[in-house]
C-alpha cells in the first residue's frame, strides 16, 4: 500500500518524497485505524487524506467547515482528473439533487460536505447504502469545545457517524491544537495515542520580523518596491485604515484588492477573487479576510498594527508561504497600537474574567514585539511546542545577533528634551527641537531657548523621529492615550537619564530572501501563461502549477516530457493537460532570448516585438522588470523610427482631445505645465504619447 501511495504522490502531484508526517498518517490510514494528524499550515494535510482516498475503494467523505475551501479542493482534484464534488447550500436544489444521484451511483471518489449536511435524511440514507472508504474531518479542532473555533455542528455528527455501518474508519486533520483539544478529538473520534501524528507547528520557510521605531508608510513603500510582482496580504486593524492604505497603494500604481466587513458580501467576494485570480497582487484587509483562503503563493503577510493576540497573529501570518517557499511575516509595531487593542477589549461585551484573559493575551503579543530571542520559538513556546530547539535562524532576532549599537547618549538627549518640553508634545515637534529647526511653532513656544535645542543637529529630522519611536517601542517613553499622542517619560527613562541604564539599539531590517538562481523573465512569462489558462478554465492559477514548479521550470528549462516530469509538482496528469503549452512557452522564450543576446538588439525593439506578439504593456513590464512607463517610451521611440503602433492602448480619443486642447491653451507648452494643467488622471507617459503621435514633440 505504501508503495502505491508513493506512486500516486509522483503520478498525480509530481512530488518525489513525502513531507514530515504525511507518510506516518498515510501508513496508519491504510491499516484502517482512526487517525489524527496535526501539522502546520502548508504542511500538506490535503495529501494525507487524498492519497488514501485514491488508493482505497469507495467514496471518501471530507467534512469541511468552509464553503470556499471545498470549492478550491474540488477544483484541484478535478484538475488532477480525480472525480470529486461538494454539496452545500451554495448550490441550487436541482444541482444538489443531481450530485446526490451521482453520489448514489458511486461516481465520486471524494465528496466534500459541511457538517450540517448530516441533518439531511436523504444524504444520510444515501451514504448508508454506498461503499465508503473513510470520513475525514478537515480543520478537526472545530470539533472540540476547547478550540478557538468550536462548531457545535461538528461535534454533533460524531454520534450520527457512529451509526453508519459501512464506515470503516475516521480521521482528523488540523493545524491548531492545544493539548486539551488533542485529547478531546482523540476521545470523540476514538483515536489511540499511537495513531496521533504531531509534527509541531514550526514553519521553517517563514521569516518573522518585528519592525519598531520606523515610519510605517516609509517601510511599506520600500518593502513593496522590492517585492513588486509578489502576492502579499497587509492586515490593518480598522476599516478606515484599510481604505486609506489601499488608496495610497493604488495611487502608487499597485494592483490592490481590499476586504473588510463594511463592504457588501458581493464586493468582498469580488475583491477576494481578484486576489486569488492574481488580478490584484496585494490584499489590504482587516482580520475578516483569510478564513478558507488556500492561495499557496502568498509571499508576505504584513501586519500594519499590533494584532490582538498570538493565536490570531500566527494564524494570519501563517497564510504566507503555504507552498513551502521562503516568505516574510512582518509586524509593524508602534506603542500607540496598544491603546487601540485595549480600547477594543474595553468596549467589547465580554465579562470581566474574559476581559482579564484577553488583556493577558494582549500582553503576550506585546512581549513578542519586545523579545530579543527567536520570534518563531517565542510563538511556538506560547503554544507549548518545544520542537524548535535552536532558533529559526531566519527571524529578525536570529539574524541580527551582535549588530547592536550603544545609543545611551542619544537617548539621554531625547529624554531630557521631552522633559524640558513639559511632556506635552508629540514626536514630530520634539525632533524639530533636537534638530534645531526654525519652524514657527518652535518660536511660538520659545523652545529655541532650551538647552536641548539643536543638540542633534547632525542627524536628519526623520532619523530623530524614528529614534523617538524606537524609545517608545522599547518602553522608555509612553504616548498617553489621548487622540494626539504626547510623549511622556516612563520609570525606565529615569534610570537612563541618571546613567544607571544603557540602551543598546538593534537595527532591524528585512533582508531580501535569497532565492534560487532562476530566470525571472521566463518566470514572469510562465506566470502570464498560467493565468491565461486558469482564466479560461475558471480556476485559481496556483491550482495549475505552484510557484515552486514555475521557478524550477525557469531554472532547468525543461523541453521534453521526461525533463518536465522531473519538475517538482508536475506529475503525469498535469503533464497531459498543460505540459506542452508550458514547453512551447519555454522554447519561445529561450529562442527569443538567445537571438537577442546574439543580435544585441536594442532594448526598445525587444519591447516592440513583445508588444506585437500580443503581450500587454503590464506583462512586458513584468517580464523585463522595468516600469510600464519605460515600455511606453520604448514603443514611442519605435513609432518615431517608423514602426506602426496601435495608439488606443495608450489613451482614448477623449483623452487625446483633452491633451491637445490643453496644449493649445498654454502659452509656453512645456510638458510640466501641461501635466499640472491636466492633473492626476493624465500621466507624463500618456501626454508624451499624444504629443509624439501628433508630431508635436
Ligand atoms: P495544508 O492543508 O496543510 O495547509 P496543503 O495540503 O494545502 O497544506 O499543502 C500545501 C502545499 O504544499 C501545496 O502547495 C502542496 O502542493 C504542497 N505539498 C504537499 N505535500 C507535498 C510534498 N510531499 N512535497 C512537496 N510539496 C508538497
pLDDT digits (tens, 9 = 90+) for 601-643: 778 888 888 888 778 888 888 878 788 888 998 999 899 888 8
* Alpha-carbon separation of residue 470 from 89, 163, 235, 396, 479 (angstroms): 51, 61, 22, 15, 12
Distance from the alpha carbon of residue 17 to the mean position of ligand 1, in angstroms: 11
Q: Is the CB of 323 under 6 A from ligand 1?
A: yes
φ, ψ for residue 172, nearest 5 deg: -130, 145
Is any atom of ligand 1 closer than 6 Å to the C-beta of 15?
A: yes
Q: Say how many Å lie between the CA of residue 234 and the centre of ligand 1.
A: 23
Whether the pLDDT of residue 316 is over 90: the answer is yes
Cβ–Cβ < 8 Å for 409, 459: no
pLDDT score recorded for residue 229: 84
Give the chain's largest Cα–Cα span: 90
pLDDT score of 53 more than 80: yes
What is the per-residue pLDDT for 360?
Answer: 84
Instruction: List Cβ neighbours of 103 (8 Å cut-off, separation of 6 or more).
Output: 59, 85, 87, 111, 126, 127, 130
- Ligand 1 neighbourhood includes 46 CB (under 6 angstroms): yes
| Ligand 1, atom nearest to 46 Cα | 6
What's the mean per-residue pLDDT of the chain? 88
pLDDT at 507: 63
Please report the pLDDT score of residue 596 as a whole number: 54
For residues 332 and 304, the answer to whether their CB atoms sit within 8 Å is: yes
Ligand 1: atom nearest CA of 324 is 12
Least confident segment among 2-16, 356-370, 481-495: 481-495
DSSP state of 18: P
Determine the atom of ligand 1 nearest the C-alpha atom of 41. Answer: 4
pLDDT value at residue 681:
86
Q: For residue 84, report the distance from its CA to the centre of ligand 1, in Å.
A: 19
Contacts of 380 (CB under 8 A, 6+ apart): 200, 201, 202, 386, 387, 388
Of ligand 1's atoms, which has the minimum distance to the CA of residue 48?
Answer: 6
Q: Exposed e or buried b for every residue in 356-393, given b needs 16+ CB within 10 A?
A: eebeebbeebbebbeeeebbbbbbbebbebeebeeebe
**In this model, does residue 599 exceed pLDDT 70?**
no
Of the candidates 65, 36, 347, 394, the one whose C-alpha atom is nearest the C-alpha of residue 208 is 394
- Residue with the bigger pLDDT between 330 and 474: it is 330
pLDDT per residue as tens digits for the range 203-238? 989 999 999 877 898 899 989 998 988 999 999 999
Q: How far is it, in rounded angstroms, from Cα 435 to Cα 427?
A: 12
Instruction: Count CB atoms within 10 A of the CB of residue 600.
Output: 6
Rounded (10°) angle between helices 45-55 and 22-30? 30
Percentage of residues of the chain with pLDDT beyond 90: 49
- CB of 53 sitting under 6 A from ligand 1: no
Centre of ligand 1 to C-alpha 296, Å, is: 9
d(CA 243, CA 305): 15
Residues paired with residue 283 on neighbouring β-strands, in sequence order: 233, 257
Helix (H) or strand (E) holding 284: strand 282-285
Q: Are strands 231-235 and 282-285 parallel, antiparallel or unpaired?
A: parallel
Q: Is residue 10 within 6 Å of ligand 1 at its C-beta?
A: no
Over residues 501-513, the mean pLDDT reads 72
Hey, whose CA ends up nearest to atom 23 of ligand 1?
18
Report yes or no: 427 and 487 within 8 Å, Cβ to Cβ.
yes
**Could you tell which of 47, 110, 177, 573 is best to mutate to test the pocket of ligand 1, judged by most ligand atoms within 8 Å of the CB?**
47
Instruction: Give the count of beta carbons closer than 10 Å to the beta carbon of residue 583.
Output: 19
Q: Are 166 and 131 in contact (CB under 8 A)?
A: yes
Report the pLDDT value the prediction gives residue 402, as an integer from 0 to 100: 53
Contacting residues for 622 by C-beta, under 8 A, at least 6 apart: 229, 524, 527, 528
pLDDT tens-place string over residues 269-285: 999 999 999 999 999 99
| Alpha carbons 38 and 42: distance in angstroms, whole number | 12
pTM (two decimals): 0.72
CA distances, 217 to each of 44, 213, 248 (Å)? 35, 12, 10
Q: From atom 25 of ligand 1, which residue's Cα is the shortest distance away?
A: 15
The pLDDT > 70 percentage for the chain reads: 95
Query: Would you state the pLDDT for residue 299?
Result: 95
Q: Distance, CA 557 to ligand 1 centroid (Å)?
A: 24
CA of 54 to the centre of ligand 1 (A): 16
Residue of the CA atom closest to atom 26 of ligand 1: 15
Amino acid at each position: 500500500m505504501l508503495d502505491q501511495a508513493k506512486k500516486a504522490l509522483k503520478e498525480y502531484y509530481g512530488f518525489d518524497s513525502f513531507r514530515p508526517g504525511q507518510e506516518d498518517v498515510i501508513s496508519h490510514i491504510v491499516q484502517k485505524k482512526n487517525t489524527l494528524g496535526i501539522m502546520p499550515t502548508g504542511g500538506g494535510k490535503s495529501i494525507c487524506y487524498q492519497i488514501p482516498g485514491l488508493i482505497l475503494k469507495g467514496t471518501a467523505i471530507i467534512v469541511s467547515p468552509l464553503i470556499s475551501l471545498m470549492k478550491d479542493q474540488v477544483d484541484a482534484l478535478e484538475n488532477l482528473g480525480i472525480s470529486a464534488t461538494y454539496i452545500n447550500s451554495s448550490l441550487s436544489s436541482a444541482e444538489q439533487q443531481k450530485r446526490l444521484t451521482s453520489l448514489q451511483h458511486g461516481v465520486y471518489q471524494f465528496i466534500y460536505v459541511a457538517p450540517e449536511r448530516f441533518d439531511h435524511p436523504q444524504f444520510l440514507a444515501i451514504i448508508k447504502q454506498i461503499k465508503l472508504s473513510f470520513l475525514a474531518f478537515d480543520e478537526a479542532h472545530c470539533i472540540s469545545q476547547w478550540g478557538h473555533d468550536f462548531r457545535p455542528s461538528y461535534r454533533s455528527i460524531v454520534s450520527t457517524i457512529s451509526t453508519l455501518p459501512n464506515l470503516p474508519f475516521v480521521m482528523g486533520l488540523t493545524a491548531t491544537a492545544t493539548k486539551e483539544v488533542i485529547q478531546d478529538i482523540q476521545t470523540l473520534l476514538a483515536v489511540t495515542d499511537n495513531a496521533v501524528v504531531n509534527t509541531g507547528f514550526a514553519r521553517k520557510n517563514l521569516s518573522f520580523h518585528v519592525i519598531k521605531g520606523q515610519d510605517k508608510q516609509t517601510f511599506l513603500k520600500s518593502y513593496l518596491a522590492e517585492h513588486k510582482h509578489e502576492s502579499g496580504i497587509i492586515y490593518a486593524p480598522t476599516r478606515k485604515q484599510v481604505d486609506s492604505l489601499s488608496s495610497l497603494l493604488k495611487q502608487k500604481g499597485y494592483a490592490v484588492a481590499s476586504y473588510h466587513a463594511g463592504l457588501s458580501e458581493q464586493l468582498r467576494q469580488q475583491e477576494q477573487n481578484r486576489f486569488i485570480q492574481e488580478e490584484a497582487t496585494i490584499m489590504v484587509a482587516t482580520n475578516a479576510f483569510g478564513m478558507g483562503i488556500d492561495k499557496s503563493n502568498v509571499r508576505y503577510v504584513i501586519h500594519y498594527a499590533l494584532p490582538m493576540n498570538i493565536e490570531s497573529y500566527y494564524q494570519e501570518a501563517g497564510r504566507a508561504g503555504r507552498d513551502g517557499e521562503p516568505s516574510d511575516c512582518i509586524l509593524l509595531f508602534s506603542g500607540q497600537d496598544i491603546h487601540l487593542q485595549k480600547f477594543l477589549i474595553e468596549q467589547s461585551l465580554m465579562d470581566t474574567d474574559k476581559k482579564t484573559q484577553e488583556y493577558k493575551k494582549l500582553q503576550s503579543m506585546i512581549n513578542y514585539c519586545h523579545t530579543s530571542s527567536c520570534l518563531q520559538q517565542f510563538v511556538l513556546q506560547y503554544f507549548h511546542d518545544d520542537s524548535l530547539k535552536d532558533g529559526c535562524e531566519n527571524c529578525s532576532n536570529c539574524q541580527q545577533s551582535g549588530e547592536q549599537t550603544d545609543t545611551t547618549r542619544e537617548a539621554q538627549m531625547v529624554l531630557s528634551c521631552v522633559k524640558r518640553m513639559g511632556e506635552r508634545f508629540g514626536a514630530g515637534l520634539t525632533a524639530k527641537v533636537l534638530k534645531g529647526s526654525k519652524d514657527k511653532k518652535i518660536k511660538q513656544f520659545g523652545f529655541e531657548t532650551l538647552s536641548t535645542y539643536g543638540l542633534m543637529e547632525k542627524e536628519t529630522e526623520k532619523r530623530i523621529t524614528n529614534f523617538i519611536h524606537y524609545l517608545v517601542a522599547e518602553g522608555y517613553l509612553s504616548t498617553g492615550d489621548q487622540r494626539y499622542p504626547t510623549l511622556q517619560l516612563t520609570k525606565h527613562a529615569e534610570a537612563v537619564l541618571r546613567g544607571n541604564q544603557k540602551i543598546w539599539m538593534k537595527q532591524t531590517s528585512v533582508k531580501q530572501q535569497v532565492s534560487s538562481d532562476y530566470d525571472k523573465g521566463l518566470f514572469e512569462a510562465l506566470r502570464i501563461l498560467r493565468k491565461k489558462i486558469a482564466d479560461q478554465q475558471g480556476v485559481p492559477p496556483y491550482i495549475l502549477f505552484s510557484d515552486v514548479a514555475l521557478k524550477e521550470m525557469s531554472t532547468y528549462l525543461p523541453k521534453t516530457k521526461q525533463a518536465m516530469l522531473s519538475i517538482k509538482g508536475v506529475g503525469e496528469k498535469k503533464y497531459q493537460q498543460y505540459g506542452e503549452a508550458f514547453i512551447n512557452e519555454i522554447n519561445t522564450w529561450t529562442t527569443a532570448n538567445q537571438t537577442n543576446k546574439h543580435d544585441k538588439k536594442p532594448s526598445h525593439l525587444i519591447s516592440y516585438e513583445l508588444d506585437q506578439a500580443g503581450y500587454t504593456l503590464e506583462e512586458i513590464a513584468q517580464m523585463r522588470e522595468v516600469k510600464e512607463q519605460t515600455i511606453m517610451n520604448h514603443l514611442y521611440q519605435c513609432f518615431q523610427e517608423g514602426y506602426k503602433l496601435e495608439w488606443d492602448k495608450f489613451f482614448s480619443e477623449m483623452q487625446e482631445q483633452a491633451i491637445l486642447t490643453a496644449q493649445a491653451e498654454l502659452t509656453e507648452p512645456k510638458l510640466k505645465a501641461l501635466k499640472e494643467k491636466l492633473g492626476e488622471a493624465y500621466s507624463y507617459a500618456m501626454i508624451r504619447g499624444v504629443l509624439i503621435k501628433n508630431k508635436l514633440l
